[in-house]
Chain A
Amino acid sequence: METKLTNLVDKALSRRNFLVGSGTVAAAAVLVGCGDSTSTTTPVTPPATTLTDADYLNFALNLEYLEAEFYLRAATGNGLSSTDAGSGAGTVTGGAQVQFATSAYANYANMIAQDELNHVRLLRAALGSSAVARPNIDLTAGFNAVASAAGIGSTFNAFADENSFLVGAFAFEDVGVTAYTGAAALLTSVANLSAAAGIQAVEAYHAGIIRTIIAGAASVSGASQTYLTAANQISVLRGTLGGGNETTLSINSIVAASSANAIAFARTTDEVLHIVYGAAPAAGVKSGAFFPNGLNGNISVTAS
């Protein structure tokens, strides 16, 4: 009852918040002004207005499209339906059903695929007519770019086998956690904050699961060490592109959090964009890697 009620209240408040729009702009301006990301160079394509909750939720929706396509394709071979991808959705390149050798891993893939699909639906429902459609997504070039930049190799097929799948999942989950942690304080509506925190928790559950599997397997199998090494190479790359915010994964250090206070890292939207675009920190980056035509919505070009 309470969950249902909360969802209904969340939806109602979200819509109201978007309708009110201008009423929240001033508050958003104050918050955005505090961030690192907006304090420097002139963006190539400046946002039309100060960013709203809808802009941040659409930013998150782009990331959920990416995760949903990755997991759905790995689990079933099929991606989002046209209904879930939105009107005028972009294309998805790459991705195939993973031939899992370990049934438990296949089950976890199914579970996470369902969760990410639900997150797409949650954000689309919360955004209503403001929801952006799925942008073009490239799961082939994206992983190749990551592998190349991380020093793993010139190509990397995350759908080749279950261990490669785990490394692919690793690449995404912690980024999601840091993105939601960073966005939380930028949201003006309590209902939107609650929704974002609810998704963030689930992304962290996923990240905990994926990281535990990778580190656990490597601790008992020399062959699996390769995949732990690859995951940490990706972690180093994410740190380079995304403002640090990484810890080395090992059996003794599963959680990605600050060593000073054991609090999870927060990333700015710019830092997240640099990671998913596979681009070195700079202003004006608008596409690359997993998003060949950039994200849809008002947060798609880096400001710094």
Chain B
Amino acid sequence: MANLETQILDEVIVKSRRKMLSLGSAALAGLAVAGVTKANAQTTALTDADILNFALNLEYLEAQFYNLAVSGVTIDHLPTPIPISVNGGTGGTVALKPNFAKVPFTDTAIAAYAAETAIEEGKHVTFLQGALSTAAVSMPNIDLYTSFNTLAAAAGIGPAFDPFASDATFLIGAYIFEDVGVTAYHGAAGSISSKSTLTAAVGIHAVEAYHAGLVRLSINRLDAGSGTLLGYTQKISATRSALANPGGKPLSQDDFGIMNTTVALQGTSATYPVTTLVDVDISESSAATSYSQGFARTPQQVLQIVTGGGAGNKGVFYPAGMNGTIK
């Protein structure tokens, strides 16, 4: 293991130096802008492989969640298995509740969305493994049981939360992941040096946003005006924001749950109640700083969310941390 790590580190150093030499100071300035230098343990510039492996860790998590919800089995046990052990590494475990079973969907549309998303997240894993080739990391240990309970308690939703219990809880579970995926790819885009890799990453970024919009719309439909599910999304968003910004809340909260708000659309004096289904601040009063852009998060901010701010970036969904250079 030490040999493998040493080997990877050597590669990283060589690639990083080469990249710096070839791209010059502009590339370094770009990395600083993207905030990547804030990430833990980043004393050298990140390579594309580092970033794609970081994405691969996130895709392992999403693919396991959706495929377990739909099929009841981990991705390496699907009819067409997706490997979790690659390049001689050891695939991690997936922690599930006792007597785990797939989600008993009753809403056919939500069952269909789940099935589609499971396939698409699986394809993202396969794509990234293929793109990374010999540099791809294996799946780390993943927790889909106590993780949700811990987050639910932290968010003030309750002492326990089972995302595999129903249509509604499944959507809330999906809600936790999708916007994080969007912000992670957005934050990483500026650090990618290969143009073809960038196009692929931006393309995956869009698909995560399609999923996020789909999930938010479906939650709003199931909520049916009761406010319960919308309240969960607001609590989760507030928790994500707090985890990503441990030094204190930003002036403008950087994560928005589904909520009814009011905008005064230009050219009319009327106001409209609006259900925000996009993770942006759309309030016109703050238009000077709010341009309806998706948020970008640094890898470290993403790590703080998915590990619940755990020491050494270990905890919650990744009890032993991620695999790769960014962890």
Question: Which residues does A use to contact B, with CB under 8 Å?
Answer: 1-4, 6-7, 9, 13, 31, 34, 72, 75-81, 84, 104, 106-108, 110-111, 113-119, 121-122, 125, 177, 180-182, 184-185, 190-191, 193-195, 197-209, 211-213, 216, 219-220, 251-258, 260-266
Contacts and interface: CB of A to CB of B under 8 A. Distances in A.
B280 interface: yes
B282 A115 contact: yes
B266 interface: yes
A200 B275 CA distance: 20
A107 B274 contact: yes
B96 interface: no
Given A190-B190, A202-B292, A252-B112, A209 B266 contact: no
A146 to B, nearest CB: 22
A219 B109 CA distance: 8
Interface of B: 29-30, 33-34, 108-109, 112-113, 115-116, 119-121, 123-124, 126-127, 182, 185-186, 189-190, 195-196, 198-200, 202-207, 209-214, 216-218, 220-221, 245, 250-252, 254, 263, 265-268, 270, 272-282, 284, 287, 289-296
Given A193-B189, A220-B109, 10 more contacts: A72-B265, A110-B272, A114-B274, A181-B202, A181-B206, A197-B186, A205-B278, A207-B213, A213-B217, A261-B124
Contacts of B282: 111, 114-115, 118
Nearest to B272: A110
A76 B267 contact: yes
A53 B272 CA distance: 36
A255 B210 contact: yes
Contact of B120 (A6, A116, A257): A257
A255 B202 contact: no
B123 A262 contact: yes
Contacts of B115: 252
A234 B92 CA distance: 45
A114, A190, A198, most chain B CB atoms within 10 A: A114
Contacts of A121: 287, 291
A202 B195 contact: no
A163 B107 CA distance: 23
A81 B213 contact: no
Nearest to A119: B292
Contacts of B34: 190, 194
B277 A205 contact: yes
B272 A75 contact: yes
A165 to B, nearest CB: 15
Contacts of B273: 107
